[in-house]
Structure 1
Amino acid sequence: MRRRAGPQCDRVEHGSVGAGPPQANAAYFSTCPRGLEALLAEDIAACGGTAITTTPGGAGFSGSLETCYRLNLHSRIATRVLCRLASAEYRDERDIYRLAFEIAWPRLFEVSRSIRVYVTATKAPVKSLEYLTLKVKDAVCDRFRADCGRRPDVNTAAPDVRIHLYVTATEATLYLDTSGEPLWLRGQKIAKVAAPLKENLAAGILRLSGWRPGVPLIDPMCGSGTLLLEAAGMALDDAPGLSREMKDFGFTKWLDYRPALWKRLCVEAAERRVAAPGKLPIWGADLNADAVARTRQNLAHAGLDHLIEVRKIDILDITPPAPGGVLVANPPYGERLGELDALAAFYPRLGDALKKRFAGWSCWFLSADARLPKLIGLKPKRKIPLWNGPLECRLYGFDIVAGSARK
């Protein structure tokens, strides 16, 4: 292939290899919290993706540019949507450099765009991921310099273009990030708490619990309100991507960005939004006054404070707001000895409070504490493995019936 040089390099004609994802099917890989892969596959199918294959932490699929845009706009489960550029077997870092250099990067984005390279490895026989990062960065810059006489700048804080390399024991694959900032950053929360629950994990918990819009829902340990915000978005059919700034999406920095297509999809999503007739049957509570204040602040920032009631109260003292519904909570896990002892005393009281007041409710708790089911004195109907960041957890589901279930 003949390379162009000079300023024309910023506007290379489309159609040849490396010209960006075509309107016809391209190969993509979307990441998500581990344990939510099946839900991600449902989102991909709903957005038009085909040939879907799940793997721990994500799913591969084929789709058009519209499928890519739709998934970024509508999925509450996806973390990122990556477009696959090239893949090959390798023996050492030189092979990975050649793989990256052979991609026609000037056909993908302008040299004026800043870049950052991310590397993920699984059982890769390499000495240093930092060195691989450097080799890919060098290959991209060298290709731009060869074709254009200039090289892009590197920005590790807020890059315009994110390039991902994934290496296994024998194969290296390069992706271009269509999402930019991770999709769980909805742009709704301005007040946070320590160790917050990520939005896509919260959305997955709600779906796994079986909750559906219209069913009463309460989060009695609401923290900064993540579960409440996700539930409200689902109840109003509000596409999560609409609350983000357009510049936060990676595909808007590409040469083949289709603004008319993106605008049409956003308009369609906005028109689908349901107007709430009154307060939603969604409630939040927390014993911590600061957490209640932060939740209210986040709901107000999202324009939802008039739809959801939040109050300061201990979970052990809450009266159910409806005869039946779904209770979801992300209680403290306990990381120090004193906290573990406190939780060991708290769980039996929680079980008693649930049996006393929440008969007819389905109650779900995300926890990394394996003692929870035994100490709470209830038999879980489901135990779903989930990962909260690097922490392996279980989502425990209990159907509460009147009376004691203890022997």
Structure 2
Amino acid sequence: MANIIINEETLTLTATHYWLAVKAIPRLAIHKKIALVDKFGLSHLFASSTDLTLSGLTKPQCSAITSPDWPALIKIISDSALCQSHLVSYGDPAYPALLKEIYDPPLVLFIRGNIAVLSLPKIAMVGSRNASVSGREIAHKFAELLSAQFVVTSGLALGIDAHAHLGSLHAGGYTIAVVATGLDITYPARHKKLQNDIIANNGLIISEFAPGVAPKAGHFPKRNRLISGLSSGVVVVEASLRSGSLITARCALEQGREVFAVPSSIYNEQARGCHWLIKQGAKLVEEVADIVEEFEDVLVGSLHLASHQEKSNPIEKSDEQDLCNDPMLASVGYEITPVDLVVSRSKLPIDVVLTRLTVLELRGLVSAVPGGYLKLNRG
């Protein structure tokens, strides 16, 4: 390892420093950066004697290699330590093997939590931020059951993502949240407790963005490719046709991952993306067994995860509500919903539920049918 002098102190450069320097080469695709390292060697790439003239690099790119901004890169490492995270670089033995297979793997991962989880089999679960109550329940239940054999991976977003994490935590399983910010920032802010619960229960928070990087629109597609890239398959629970979850599904297909979609009512706008995926060849999922059977040849039993918390202190459910103004309406699904299930979801007395359901029916928002009620399509 080479030594450099920073502020009159001699510091030894590690592989992490060098990978950060490779990451910092401007306007160069990741696969080309990896090709440079393969050609010259990691530390030798930055040696003053390296001949870069035949590599087709621009002057700014050559300058970033011959004169890296070591103080800035060292600050990234120190800032990571301050937010209780550490770095896993592309050449690190702990770097996820599946992630190396994708076209544009991140050269450096910023990680908080239990690094051992990176080596376990993972399944991604994504979906709409504006998920229906039924979609949230499905995500929660599927994550509970899948966590016996997989680490459940998602994006810490509202809706399906949050309930996938919560379901895994409720079952005592491991979960990974891939975020689109630096690890010193929680987005959305209301998920600070959820993020802390994931860490407290031996899960992971992962980002390819350095501390201090705020959320931007362009960060989320990059985040989505990591959610699928880390995982053996992607389960889409609810997604509109313009949903970011379809970006994750497309990334999964490009990466050679399995894609699963949970169907819903044809009147549920949040399910149209799932139905489109099924038409394109995604596997229709009605139960967890439909997912697990696709991986029987690679799963060696379950993870046998021990509960990380006492059942008397379960993870609190998210307090987010559906976009519908009336909480009672959010308790009725696009499928037949029995009255007792509406009572359970709304946590209201049955006489109040029956009265309010009648009002909703008069407003044309629900319909009474044999066996319960249906939410009506208002579009």
Same fold by TM-score, threshold 0.5 exceeded?
no
What's the TM-score once normalised by structure 2's chain length?
0.28
Q: Greater strand share, 1 or 2?
A: 1
What's the TM-score once normalised by structure 1's chain length?
0.27
